[in-house]
Structure 1
């Protein structure tokens, strides 16, 4: 099948021919017809498979007719990184050169003023990263209600970078009647959930990731200790004829550290990460493409969108966590039938990820041994998880501490515990809880209560001598024994303490808080003057004078001196009798 069989316009076909392409890739062959038909498309393909052209080519033809309004783009393409957004913009420039389309690129590191000027002229295609697009929208510089086509590129990377909340907000600002094209290199349950939320009855197209660059790339692996990874990388770089190479790290922090290490050892290297200013990133990429720099240290996210046809080597300084990323990395070399070489530096802790990668590519990656470095073996394990599985079921070392009440504290030895327990048992037998009061009396030599009981006298003598012997012992042992004795005292002396704390036996009315016996007509506060002073007494209509309303302690209770009309009215003859008695007085 050729591009002319896909239904593209003559202008677009001429631009494709000028670019040197004659046969579409599998993803282009499957996706382009559905995009031209106006269907939503769910595309699963990695970078390097022609995925970008699979939506740029049909979009150029769809947008060829029509005119854009100021600040109201007709189509929107979201990309996770500035490099990928730049690559998409280059595709539109290359394939749309025979069509009159206006394009704008909204990425970080560029001037807001210049970007705003482009938007004011009206754009047919708006290519943006989520962060910069939301900045422009919040400033009131852009309206999204006229977007007819939405493209979400590299959705898996957007999820990894935390852009999904911004993407969801952006999608909520778009008109519901639109065409959505959703592309991702991987398809897990989270990506599937997003696709279901954004797409309507999509046509799914998929390219097998296991076949990318597997035929033309020679793969090798070095297994060393984690402390020897840098030595192994330098050794491999020096023994290979490296024309230009990507060196991949899993984390942005490791990119900077490895860059400094390689620079220190005299290697021609550059770095690429998200914290670099845009002008510096652009200059670094230009130097690498021009051959001024041989080695480029970068992460997976920063490398997205870098399209260089002839790369001789790929070095994986870190084993990728996702097996699909491994295929994506090594796919940057060996393109267009050229030979490529890929080396991976692994450690024994990477066994889980290596197993998943080998399962995906369908073969074992050959191991090599480097001279002067100790080679290691990867432990046997499957791709489901060897590293994390040992944490919960590992054997406990002999003598290892366990969590709980029985563990030793502060490094104290437990060897002296049996003698202490024996001593406590003897003391318990000689001085039971019922005889404890006699032990206290036995401490006085002249007390007559000592004579009837000889055993308690001996126990008391031991208690008198105990402080001297205790002072002679080691402080740590003495503290430990005291703690055990206090624990035993709590066990056998509980009754005594309860008896001591109980106090004298309380009779009726002895406690100020004990309620007295209540008769049928008694006042609830009759024996509590403090409460009378605080709350006052219930009004009695028979009272006719303020002095009579005073309590026994000569305190006028709250409310007793209030006028009669403020009290609740009483019914019947009692109220009238109270009024007549008040007048007579």
Structure 2
């Protein structure tokens, strides 16, 4: 694919329909569209009645069975934009051992879980069976669920392709395909897997592609696998992503003072759930451990953690048992948690789109939020480029330390705040209060019995095994195949001095070898 592939968008895809925010005081309700009453009632049960801009523009096209490309900033409700039409077109009940009728492909496990939960909630009264498939879990439960029959499958590309090639996931009945966050799948290198999966699907189907940006390979994918799609943009003039709905702050901070500064920011008045982003897995683990030592209820999510530990941290964050989640960009997309008041970039992002997706975890669904970026001296050139591309007036962050008065004033931090959370404010249950789920996979080496592990911590036990007798560790000195004089007697000493000459000093003295003289030709003297 050449660099000019983005120009092909205008050749194969009609002129995009750009949607402004609804002018009326209230946007249309889901019941105003041709949506099944069961779906409308299920959404009303969770407090969702009216549509957002992307949903308002998507529903008429998707409900009619047309292919489309949806483009909108994060947090605007894209999941229901394709989820409601998907559920509306299912043929239910599907029956036992039924192959899936709809397939949703997501780039990350966290996004797959979030999408699956939204679809299950919206299709609850329909009786739609939604299955989530992703790596890091045992194969057997997923294969058993597929054998029993499902209506909608949501999964990540790697595990979906693996099960499909093994014959467990039957894709011949799929009539609706959704590619969510397609540009993120491109960044993670999933595009070849996506193409293999799409070649296994029936040609006659509805395909919906949702992406925040439209790079060239995504356009080529749309040309190859979508049938006359309509591109929908939820914001007018979406060439530059909007971030003005979030209160943004940037400070030039020294790396040696960042943790002290962060501890004070986390004591700001009105702060609820907080998401902290780092660029590396090691930094995420270090920051989370340091915050725990300072009294904050913190947890980490990064690639070095197992899937069970990652889901444990996310569940604790959603339930409020921890209020600070330190994450790498693996959680930048797909993490939809209500009530995140602050997003803190502990390390500056790599580019402008990473910044947009990071801070998009707050101020979702029309709420208010704050983003704080701590910029190192080395990151200043990158940060200025981000500000240029997003039209942010934050090109020159003020040099700030944990004791700077303007930090307390701008972020509404109490004057008495220090680097440790007071004990009276440590009211969260913490990560240990959330149970670690057994995913059914093979245990790590440090906890598996056998070589190199003895107890829970992986230390070899010194106690002898009960299934075999303890070995006699006494050894007999031999020379020429015969025991050395006194060796056998020393192994089994006798109480009789006559029978044990070694006991009364009668043993022969050890023979000593003498070095042969340099001018000697005979045998060495002993």
TM-score between the two structures when normalised by the length of structure 2 = 0.65
When residues 16 and 211 of structure 1 are mapped into structure 2, their CA distance, relative to the original with a 3 A threshold, is: farther
Kept in 2, the 8 Å contact 1:220–1:368? The answer is no
Q: Of the candidates 272, 282, 285, which is equivalent to residue 311 of structure 2?
A: 282
Q: What residue number does 1:96 align with?
A: 123
When residues 252 and 152 of structure 1 are mapped into structure 2, their CA distance, relative to the original with a 3 A threshold, is: farther
Kept in 2, the 8 Å contact 1:68–1:124? The answer is no
By how many angstroms is 1:68 displaced? 6.1
Matches within 5 A, 1:501-580: none
Q: Of the candidates 48, 53, 78, which is equivalent to residue 75 of structure 2?
A: 48
1:445-464 deviation line (CA, Å, top 9, x unaligned): xxxxxxxxxxxxxxxxxxxx
Q: What residue number does 1:342 align with?
A: 371
For residues 123 and 150 of structure 1, what CA distance do their matches in structure 2 show? 15
Q: What residue number does 2:360 align with?
A: 331
Q: In the alignment, does 2:256 pair up with 1:247? A: no
By how many angstroms is 1:265 displaced? 4.4
Matches within 5 A, 1:179-190: 179-190=206-217
Give secondary structure in 2 for the equivalent of 1:318. coil
1:281-303 deviation line (CA, Å, top 9, x unaligned): 22211211222212101122224
Matches within 5 A, 1:377-416: none
By how many angstroms is 1:344 displaced? 0.1
By how many angstroms is 1:354 displaced? 2.6
Q: What residue number does 1:35 align with?
A: 62
1:203-257 deviation line (CA, Å, top 9, x unaligned): 1012346665633x32111113455544443443356663320001233343223
Q: What residue number does 1:438 align with?
A: none
Q: What residue number does 1:4 align with?
A: 31
By how many angstroms is 1:367 displaced? 3.6
For residues 53 and 181 of structure 1, what CA distance do their matches in structure 2 show? 12
By how many angstroms is 1:57 displaced? 0.5
Q: What residue number does 2:400 align with?
A: 370
Give secondary structure in 1 for the equivalent of 2:128. coil
Matches within 5 A, 1:488-499: none
Kept in 2, the 8 Å contact 1:259–1:269? The answer is yes
Q: What residue number does 1:197 align with?
A: 224
Structure 2, unaligned runs of 5 or more: 1-27, 406-526
1:382-419 deviation line (CA, Å, top 9, x unaligned): xxxxxxxxxxxxxxxxxxxxxxxxxxxxxxxxxxxxxx
Matches within 5 A, 1:118-517: 118-208=145-235, 214-215=244-245, 217-226=246-255, 228-238=257-267, 242-336=271-365, 338-365=367-394, 367-371=397-401
Kept in 2, the 8 Å contact 1:314–1:329? The answer is yes
When residues 63 and 157 of structure 1 are mapped into structure 2, their CA distance, relative to the original with a 3 A threshold, is: same
For residues 234 and 364 of structure 1, what CA distance do their matches in structure 2 show? 26
Kept in 1, the 8 Å contact 2:178–2:207? The answer is yes
Give secondary structure in 2 for the equivalent of 1:301. helix
Give secondary structure in 1 for the equivalent of 2:340. coil
By how many angstroms is 1:261 displaced? 3.8
- Structure number having the greater helix percentage: 1
Give secondary structure in 2 for the equivalent of 1:312. strand
For residues 136 and 42 of structure 1, what CA distance do their matches in structure 2 show? 27
By how many angstroms is 1:125 displaced? 0.6
For residues 244 and 97 of structure 1, what CA distance do their matches in structure 2 show? 29
1:518-573 deviation line (CA, Å, top 9, x unaligned): xxxxxxxxxxxxxxxxxxxxxxxxxxxxxxxxxxxxxxxxxxxxxxxxxxxxxxxx
Structure 1, unaligned runs of 5 or more: 376-585
For residues 112 and 248 of structure 1, what CA distance do their matches in structure 2 show? 31
Q: What residue number does 2:99 align with?
A: 72
When residues 154 and 14 of structure 1 are mapped into structure 2, their CA distance, relative to the original with a 3 A threshold, is: same
For residues 177 and 105 of structure 2, what CA distance do their matches in structure 1 show? 8
Q: Quick check: 315-324 or 351-360, which moved more? A: 351-360
Kept in 1, the 8 Å contact 2:110–2:331? The answer is yes
For residues 194 and 38 of structure 1, what CA distance do their matches in structure 2 show? 19
When residues 293 and 110 of structure 1 are mapped into structure 2, their CA distance, relative to the original with a 3 A threshold, is: same
Aligned length in residues: 374
1:141-161 deviation line (CA, Å, top 9, x unaligned): 122122111111111221122
When residues 132 and 350 of structure 1 are mapped into structure 2, their CA distance, relative to the original with a 3 A threshold, is: same
Kept in 1, the 8 Å contact 2:332–2:361? The answer is no
When residues 40 and 263 of structure 1 are mapped into structure 2, their CA distance, relative to the original with a 3 A threshold, is: same
Kept in 2, the 8 Å contact 1:151–1:180? The answer is yes
By how many angstroms is 1:55 displaced? 0.6
When residues 213 and 20 of structure 1 are mapped into structure 2, their CA distance, relative to the original with a 3 A threshold, is: farther
For residues 338 and 291 of structure 1, what CA distance do their matches in structure 2 show? 18
Kept in 2, the 8 Å contact 1:6–1:29? The answer is no
Q: What residue number does 1:14 align with?
A: 41
TM-score between the two structures when normalised by the length of structure 1 = 0.59
Give secondary structure in 1 for the equivalent of 2:387. helix
By how many angstroms is 1:74 displaced? 1.4
1:262-294 deviation line (CA, Å, top 9, x unaligned): 344444321012342232222211211222212
